[in-house]
Structure formats: C-alpha cells, structure tokens
C-alpha cells in the first residue's frame, strides 16, 4: 500500500477541519488527473499552468479545499487539489492561515496563485455554492459542476455567480465544466461565468452553460473597461436568455461554440468591445450577435458561422442586431495558434466533449473526437 502523509496544516486549520467533521486533506503521491494544456488567451501573458509541479491532495469537502490552500508554505506555492463528492454550504467553512483568505459558504480563491482544482473519481459537484476568484492568478478549474448558485433566497453564495472573477485576476483556464442554474434573476440567480474589475487572459473551453437568465459578462458596467483577452471555445450555451456573453470593452475570441435556445440575445458586444466570432453554430435562437440594450456600440469580425433557425429583431435606438446577414465591422488579430472545426459538425463534437464527466475529451479539429 502506498504511504499517504497528512498534509501539513496550521494547528488552527487542522482543528477546524476536524471539528467540522470533514476529514483532513491527504497528500497524494500518485499522479494527479491529467489536465492537458491551456488554450486560447490563457496561454498568453506567461501562460497558465495552475498547480503544476506542486503537491497533489484530495478533498471531499469545501472546508478541506480551503484547508489545502491554507496549508501551503505560501500563497503562491503550487498545489493540485483533486475534488470528489458534493461541495455545499454545510461542508464549506472558513479556514485561516497565512497562505489563504477564505470564507464560509463560497469556494474562495482570493489573493493566491498557482492552483489547480480538478474533479476526479465519481465527480465533483458544487451545489448552490459558487467559486470566487479575486486578486488571483494562474488558476485552473477543470471537470467540475457548479449549479444553482443564488444571490437572493436561501442559501446565497458568490453574488449568485457560478464562477465569478474580479479585481486584478490574471491567467485562468476553466475547462470541461458544467455551469447551470434553474432560472433567471427573478428566481434568485445571476451569471454563470462573470469577469469584472481588471480580469484578463482567461479561457473557457469545453464547458456547458445552461438554464440561466444570464450566461456571463466581461465588465460590470460601461465604465468597467479594464477586462479582456478572453477566449470561449467548444462550449455549449443552452436555454440562456442573454449574455452569451455580454462584452463591455476588451477583446474576445469566440469560436467553435454551439448555441441552442438563446431566448433574448446572445453575443452582446458593447462599449467598444471587439469580438472575433469564428465557426460557431447558432440554433433555434434570437439576436445571437450585435449590440443590445445600449447605444454604446461594440464590434465584431465574423466568419464561418452557421445560423440555423435564427430570428432577428428590427434595429432601434438601443437594439443593433448584426443580422439577418452578419458582416464584419472590425478586424481582430489573434496572437495564439488554434484549429477550427467546421461549424456544421459542432452539434456532434460539442455534445461529445463539453461538460464535466466527459473524460476531458477534446476535438481533433476534423469533426471527430
């Protein structure tokens, strides 16, 4: 039997973890789950490697995840945290330490760097509990489900965002995740994937975003224009009212995504934002691209997209759809290499690869997996 040494925690951290009945995090000498390599804008600005080269630990509660972060030698010591089981309010307490800044009722990645969180085994589900990144860098989140995070009602977490980033966040790769709600703002939910207050160099790949009023945003208002360099690829957006995504300023590369049932609007480029929109498949949706709900124009470069049963509203003072025949109105230069799947095969490719629990499968660029 392989030896497993207990992860060295501060006395306070270990005591709290045990008092909460969660079990102390164990170090794992065996290799962690394969995470692959970051893609898109997360490869820029020095790249995104998460906790590569650090200790691998296993956690089955939110408190244990916090304890693992707090047990590091410093806030930048690399660590890979393998997560299995259901993470919820009952098992996510604040843990204290010099290498962390945590809080109860939310997975807090605050003022830290060099961390990978990856679902393993039977899977990791963050149930009604959001993941919050603040003043964080070089973070990988992979193969997890985050669902039904609320900003009103009970219980609440992370302002209602499944994954939210703010204040100086850099280099984040979110991959093979499932982010979902059970309604819109009137039911207590907010965004599934939000970035604001100077968040840059982020990639969202091979993920499912569904059943929410709001898919996600870049920039909290039209005065919050410090965000950008975001890549979205091989994601499924399904039954989303709007914000797929909402871009306020900055640059985004949006390619090889499958959009189904965008009920009000889709890619909303505003306030000078520039989006390169390549080889996406839009299906059974409305106003999938344009500038909406404002007269502050955004821009797009389009090529290779399929519009299958897409309807377009009439232009108005604060409604500027790109269709019914979308044309480019800017040019966006992409600094990294990438391979485009033909848009026609995306419903098949994305259904087989996107989301947690899909074995981290990816497309080979030839309409197969």
Interval 114-141 mean pLDDT: 98
The token pair that represents 209 in the structure block: 């975003």
Q: Are 329 and 304 in contact (CB under 8 A)?
A: no
Q: Are 149 and 125 in contact (CB under 8 A)?
A: no
Q: With bands split at pLDDT 50, 70 and 90, how would you rate the model's confidence at 23? A: very low
Q: Could you give the percent of the chain with pLDDT greater than 90?
A: 89
Secondary structure class of 295 (helix, strand, coil): coil
Q: What is the per-residue pLDDT across 49-106, written as a single tens digit (0 to 9) for each?
A: 999 999 999 999 999 999 999 999 999 999 999 999 999 999 999 999 999 999 999 9
Q: Could you give the percent of the chain with pLDDT greater than 70?
A: 91
User: In CATH, what is the architecture of 11-353?
Assistant: 3 Solenoid (2.160)
Note the pLDDT of residue 369: 85
Q: What is the per-residue pLDDT across 187-237, written as a single tens digit (0 to 9) for each?
A: 999 999 999 999 999 999 999 999 999 999 999 999 999 999 999 999 999
Please name which of 187, 194, 184 lies closest in space to residue 158, comparing C-alpha atoms: 194
Whether 270 shows a pLDDT value over 90: the answer reads yes
Q: Are 102 and 72 in contact (CB under 8 A)?
A: no
Q: With bands split at pLDDT 50, 70 and 90, how would you rate the model's confidence at 34? A: low
Interval 143-160 mean pLDDT: 98
The token pair that represents 193 in the structure block: 């994937």
Active site residue 210: no
Please name which of 208, 135, 124 lies closest in space to residue 165, comparing C-alpha atoms: 135
Note the pLDDT of residue 21: 44
Count CB neighbours of 335 within 10 A. 9
The token pair that represents 3 in the structure block: 């030896």
Whether 111 shows a pLDDT value over 50: the answer reads yes
Residue 122 buriedness (CB in 10 A; 0-12 / 13-18 / 19+): exposed
Whether 151 shows a pLDDT value over 50: the answer reads yes
The token pair that represents 269 in the structure block: 């480029």
Q: What is the per-residue pLDDT across 247-265, written as a single tens digit (0 to 9) for each?
A: 999 999 999 999 999 999 9
Whether 5 shows a pLDDT value over 70: the answer reads no
The per-residue pLDDT of the chain, averaged, comes to 92
Give pTM, 2 decimals.
0.93
Note the pLDDT of residue 17: 44
DSSP letter string, 115-184: EEEEEEEEEEEEES--EEEES-EEEEEESEEEE--BSSSSS--GGG-SEEEESS-EEEEEES-EEEEEE-
Q: With bands split at pLDDT 50, 70 and 90, how would you rate the model's confidence at 241? A: very high
Count CB neighbours of 366 within 10 A. 11
Note the pLDDT of residue 368: 83
CA distance 309 to 256: 18
State the catalytic residue, choosing from 58, 170, 210, 243.
243
Q: With bands split at pLDDT 50, 70 and 90, how would you rate the model's confidence at 33? A: low
């Amino acid at each position: 039997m392989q030896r497993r040494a207990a992860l060295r925690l501060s006395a306070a951290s270990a005591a709290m973890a045990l008092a909460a009945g969660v079990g102390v995090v164990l170090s794992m000498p065996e290799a962690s789950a394969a995470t692959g390599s970051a893609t898109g804008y997360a490869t820029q600005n020095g790249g995104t490697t998460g906790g590569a080269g650090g200790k691998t630990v296993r956690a089955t509660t939110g408190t244990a995840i916090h304890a693992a972060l707090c047990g590091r030698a410093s806030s930048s010591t690399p660590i890979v945290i393998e997560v299995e089981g259901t993470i919820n309010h009952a098992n996510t307490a604040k843990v204290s330490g010099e290498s962390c800044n945590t809080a109860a009722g939310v997975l807090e990645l605050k003022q830290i760097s060099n961390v990978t969180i990856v679902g393993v085994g039977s899977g990791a589900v963050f149930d009604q509990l959001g993941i919050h990144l603040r003043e964080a860098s070089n973070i990988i989140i992979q193969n997890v489900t985050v669902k039904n995070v609320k900003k009103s009602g009970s219980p609440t977490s992370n302002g209602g965002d499944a994954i939210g980033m703010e204040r100086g966040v850099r280099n984040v790769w979110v991959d093979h995740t499932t982010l979902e709600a059970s309604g819109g703002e009137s039911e207590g939910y907010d965004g599934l994937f939000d970035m604001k207050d100077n968040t840059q160099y982020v990639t969202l790949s091979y993920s499912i975003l569904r059943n929410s009023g709001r898919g996600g945003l870049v920039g909290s208002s039209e005065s919050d224009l410090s965000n950008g360099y975001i890549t979205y690829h091989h994601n499924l957006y399904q039954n989303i009212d709007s914000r797929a995504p909402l871009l306020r300023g900055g640059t985004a590369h949006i390619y090889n995504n499958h959009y189904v049932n965008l009920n009000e609007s889709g890619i909303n480029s505003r306030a000078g934002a520039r989006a390169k929109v390549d080889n996406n498949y839009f299906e059974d949706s409305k106003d999938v691209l344009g500038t909406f709900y404002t007269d502050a124009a955004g821009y797009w470069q389009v090529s290779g997209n399929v519009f299958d049963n897409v309807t377009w509203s009439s232009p108005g003072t604060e409604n500027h759809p790109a269709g019914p025949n979308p044309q480019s109105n800017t040019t966006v230069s992409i600094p990294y290499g990438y391979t485009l799947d033909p848009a026609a095969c995306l419903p098949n490719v994305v259904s087989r690869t996107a989301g947690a629990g899909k074995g981290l499968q990816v497309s080979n660029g030839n309409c197969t997996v």
